[in-house]
């Protein structure tokens, strides 16, 4: 078990985004699994519990990402899995979801928040921080 690299579950309805992020994470030494909606993500988690989840915010519904995060944190078995929410929603107009404090993040049931387009370096830094690793991913 310990010899296996951590598994990151990516949830997004944009296949290109999944492909790009999984490539970035795999190149950094992580294993990845992809799901195109929250239901598929929960299904995938029953097969193998991931070390971390990166989810888009707006998929089928406006709040798909929030409800997925809530369900993960409500599940005693999955509660410990960090959740990173990523969105392309413009924070300056109308809908501002960008959390400013730890409390905001807790209310979202999220551990980190990233704005799309995201830079590979930012993604790796966030994932590495949450998994207690360096940005390279491979070093324990």
Residues that bind another protein (CB under 8 A): 13-17, 19-21, 23-24, 26-27, 36-37, 58-60, 87-90, 93-95, 116-120
Q: Which is nearer to another protein, 21 or 51 (CB)?
A: 21
DSSP-derived pairing of the beta strands 83-87 and 7-11: unpaired
Please give the helix or strand (H or E) that residue 84 lies within, else none. strand 83-87
CB of 51 to another protein, least distance (A): 20
CB of 40 to another protein, least distance (A): 8
The CA distance from 17 to 6, in Å, is 20
DSSP for 18-43, written as a single string: HHHHHHHHHHTT-EEEEESSHHHHHH
Q: Which is nearer to another protein, 62 or 107 (CB)?
A: 62
- Evaluate the CA torsion angle 80, 77, 64, 66 in order and state its sign: negative
Q: Which is nearer to another protein, 54 or 81 (CB)?
A: 54
CB of 29 to another protein, least distance (A): 10
């Amino acid at each position: 078990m310990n010899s296996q690299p951590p598994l990151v579950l990516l949830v997004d309805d944009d296949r290109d985004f999944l492909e790009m992020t999984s490539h970035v994470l795999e190149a950094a030494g992580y294993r990845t699994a992809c799901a195109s909606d929250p239901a598929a993500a929960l299904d995938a988690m029953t097969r193998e519990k991931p070390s971390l989840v990166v989810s888009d915010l707006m998929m089928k519904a406006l709040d798909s990402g929030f409800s997925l995060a809530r369900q993960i944190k409500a599940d005693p078995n999955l509660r410990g899995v960090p959740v990173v929410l990523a969105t392309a929603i413009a924070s300056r107009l109308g809908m501002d979801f960008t959390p400013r404090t730890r409390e905001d993040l807790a209310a979202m049931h999220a551990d980190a928040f990233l704005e799309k387009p995201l830079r590979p370096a930012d993604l790796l830094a966030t994932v590495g921080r949450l998994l207690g690793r360096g940005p390279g991913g491979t070093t324990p």
